[in-house]
Amino acid sequence: MPYLFTSESVSEGHPDKIADQISDALIDNFMAFDPTSKVACETLVTTGQVVLAGEVKSKAYLDVQDIARGVIRKIGYTKSEYMFEANSCGILSAIHEQSGDINQGVDKKKKEEQGAGDQGMMFGYATNETADYMPLALDLAHKLLLELAALRRENKEIKYLRPDAKSQVTLEYDDNNKPIRIDAIVISTQHDDFAEDAKMLAKIKKDIIGILIPRVKARYKKYAHLFNDKIKFHINPTGKFVIGGPHGDTGLTGRKIIVDTYGGKGAHGGGAFSGKDPSKVDRSAAYATRHIAKNLVAAGVCDEVLVQVSYAIGVAKPTSIYVNTYGTAKVKKTDGQIAKLVEGIFDMRPYFIEQRLKLRNPIYSETAAYGHMGRKNEVVEKEFKGPDGKVIKKKVELFTWEKLDFVPQVKKAFGIK
């Protein structure tokens, strides 16, 4: 029987995402000046105020206020009427040194014996329903907001947009679990004030359906066939969205973990990513399990897969590795046998994850909005300026966990030609 499935996304101007981006900008700056840094940084944003708190062990000294203001400015909070503005907001730092009790469990004499920075379980997921091996509903939800942000920055076709926005996409699936059409789209976008609410709402609906949707269809032609004239559109369903961003809602690091991962498909271990250096397996192992899942599907082992790994704090070797192919396996092996082979292909000790995925680099700001998974793997040059005026330029590889570099090893291990 056909069924509906829904995923949501939020824009870079959403309060929780502002917090994530500030936390990850701090991670990047610490990594740029001291790749051995241990960092766990949380951010809170509210009306005219930013609070930074967390634990750091690093040789680097940073102007955290200047970094935070740069992030806020880049997002687009540059007008006083937003009640949260890059140059005028207050910034309080309560960052202190990392606990020695935790550090002694992570740092070991032999690097390869590096322990996990915490206990817990992490999940990776992949499906062949999109070219990026991501769930389609989430992919579409992200794409809608990416295009909306582009329209805001261009400030030509739509001139009233403000940075805060959310999207939601509902898909209809057939009896074979294949997406066949978009059933509903929800877009809530912050906007400038209008003289009349009724005219405002009518114009926003017209522009979203008449400008945004055609741009998404044109740019992502592989999804164009899913759009139809029966889609139920809910555009700014409250009727007005002038008050938004941190003035409308307080934002905190790590509150959009489903948006960050798979939109409700697969599973989630509960740990957030942003603001954490890669010794925290909440982050590094979640990337590593995504890397495993994507390579398994790409190699033809299965059509869909969930990979779980778990750790004890201070212990290098995982306590378990679990695989669920949802009955889509194309090889004559049980999920338990697949998990055993996976364990032999991918070394899941924290040090080896860091090395394999090049995680001790300033690569995290790009992950903090529009999802950590399903993104483009590419090499870019980034520039960082220290408080003493020292400038560091680094070429780094982004989203290494999206590479299909282990497909040959997976095929060989599973006897796939």
Annotated binding-site residues for ATP read 14, 164-166, 240-241, 249, 255-256, 272, 276
Question: Which tokens hold the place of 167?
Answer: 């999207």
CB atoms within 10 A of CB 417: 5
Residue type present at position 122:
M
Helix axes 64-75, 15-33, angle to 10 degrees: 130
Q: What is the DSSP string of 144-196?
A: HHHHHHHHHHH-SS---EEEEEEEEEEEEE-TTS-EEEEEEEEEEEEE---S-
Helix intervals (H) in 265-331: 281-298
Binding residues for Mg(2+): 16
CB atoms within 10 A of CB 327: 9
Cross-strand partners of 382? 394
416 by DSSP, 3-state: which? Answer: coil
Binding residues for L-methionine: 55, 98, 249, 280
> For 12, what's the count of Cα atoms within 13 Å in the CB-facing half-sphere?
25
Residue 39's contacts (CB-CB under 8 Å, 6 or more residues apart) are 26, 27, 30, 54, 55, 56, 57, 58, 275, 276, 277
Contact 48, 88 (CB under 8 A): yes
Binding residues: 14, 16, 42, 55, 98, 164-166, 240-241, 249, 255-256, 272, 276, 280
Contact 347, 285 (CB under 8 A): no
Go through 59-97 and write b for each residue having 16 or more CB atoms within 10 A of its CB, e for each that does not.
Answer: ebebebbebbbbbbeebbbeeeebbbbbeebebebebee
Q: Are strands 161-173 and 3-10 parallel, antiparallel or unpaired?
A: antiparallel
396 by DSSP, 3-state: which? Answer: strand
Binding residues for K(+): 42
In 18-119, which ranges are E strands? 38-46, 49-57, 90-97
Question: Which tokens hold the place of 242?
Answer: 């002038």
Residue 196's contacts (CB-CB under 8 Å, 6 or more residues apart) are none
